[in-house]
Amino acid sequence: MHASPTALNKPILIFPAGMPRSLDYLERCKRDGQTVIGASSLAYDVSKPAYPEWAFLPYVNDPGFLEALQLLITQRGIASIYTPNPVVWSYLNEVLKNLQPAIPLINASPVHDEMSGYRSAMAHARKTLATPLPIASVVDTKPALPELQLATLFRHANVMPGMCDDEKISALYEIARHSVRGDVVEIGSAWGKSAFVLARLARLHDIGHTLCIDPWQSEYVVQNDTGGLVDNCIHHYDYDEALRVFEMNLLPYSANDINYLRLPSVAAEQQYRQAAAVYSPSFGTTNYAGSIALLHIDGNHAYEAAQADIAAWEKHVVAGGWIIIDDYVWPYGDGPQRAGDEFLAQQQQRISSAFVMGTALFLQLR
């Protein structure tokens, strides 16, 4: 929402004020300095203290609703209305044309808002299934997922915060269809979006268990990026909170096949090499094979860090396994690309397939 200074002084009515989307919109208004008034039909609404101004309105099917709304608009100088309730929205969309034609509903139909993410997921699934990647793989191709399963992957992933876009999800889906069995290991998991995608694909294609490696500590996040734009935003993140968000995102999908190590990459590799089981209070104990089918490297993007991640973990990747180097194309520096190109040059005899999709480099070993 981008409002002019004049519009900021004209209140937006949020009604019903206690719905989750109403409260989300309230926070956006507060950040933008927008004047808002909350309204409810409940005699006592627990959301009332969250609003700077408050009003009572009867239910929309009450005979006195329109008169009460008209009075509220006049007395408070309301300029627009936000409602995430589909019944209220549909009713106001009709009656405001005659009651107050100058007062718009500020949001589109809530039904459209609620369904847009699902519709987008179905569209991405259909597109991915219609245009499979022509991967020159050494592994037999597994059957395509049903459209609904793939749409579910897109939808659930895109509810989670993170930088894993739909193009990359499509690529991960495709290489999972050309994967041998083994562990799925991710270096750098943050909030868990790509970890969810990998874990879900690993289960659907019977690949193996997923292990996420991340220190979730600020001192390991310094990228030394060109211009310092990335490093300058480090202080905005709470890394203990990031781990909690990761756990909240992954726990509903875990069946003793997902876990994590809160360690720097090289230290985590030593533990992985020495023990087949990983324990965490949130996920319990997960047993791993000790050999990797899919290695996703998305940790610190400084050249030295990316090189160390590859050197530490690539030896565990089995024949036919995949190495994904994320942000191989990265506008803030060339660390992952330099490290990836060095690996390509040094290990070309081991590599059977290589391609870039989106910003990631995908490599399959012979």
Length, in residues, of the chain: 366
Residues 269 and 99: their CA atoms lie apart, in Å, by 67
5-107 has CATH 3.40.50.20 classification = yes
What is 115-365's CATH superfamily?
Vaccinia Virus protein VP39 (3.40.50.150)
Please answer whether residues 160 and 192 qualify as being in contact, where contact means their C-beta atoms are separated by less than 8 angstroms: yes
- The predicted pLDDT at position 224 comes to 80
CB atoms within 10 A of CB 275: 12
Task: Give CA separation, 282 vs 4, 15, 176, in Å.
Answer: 47, 39, 26
Task: Give CA separation, 22 vs 112, 116, 175, 305, 332, in Å.
Answer: 16, 18, 41, 43, 37
- The predicted pLDDT at position 1 comes to 42
Q: What are φ and ψ of residue 303, in 5° steps?
A: -55, -50
Share of the chain above pLDDT 90, in %: 90
Residues 80 and 322: their CA atoms lie apart, in Å, by 53
Report the chain's terminal Cα–Cα distance, integer Å.
51
pLDDT along the chain (366 residues), means of 10: 53 97 96 96 96 97 97 96 97 95 95 94 97 90 97 97 94 96 98 98 98 94 85 88 98 96 97 95 97 97 96 97 97 96 96 94 96
Q: What are φ and ψ of residue 255, in 5° steps?
A: -135, 60
Domain ranges of the chain: 5-107, 115-365
Which of 218, 265, 260, 267 lies closest to 239 in space, CA to CA? 218
- The predicted pLDDT at position 171 comes to 96
> Token digits for 324?
């994904």
> Token digits for 242?
């990031």
The reply to whether 5-107 and 115-365 are identical in fold is yes
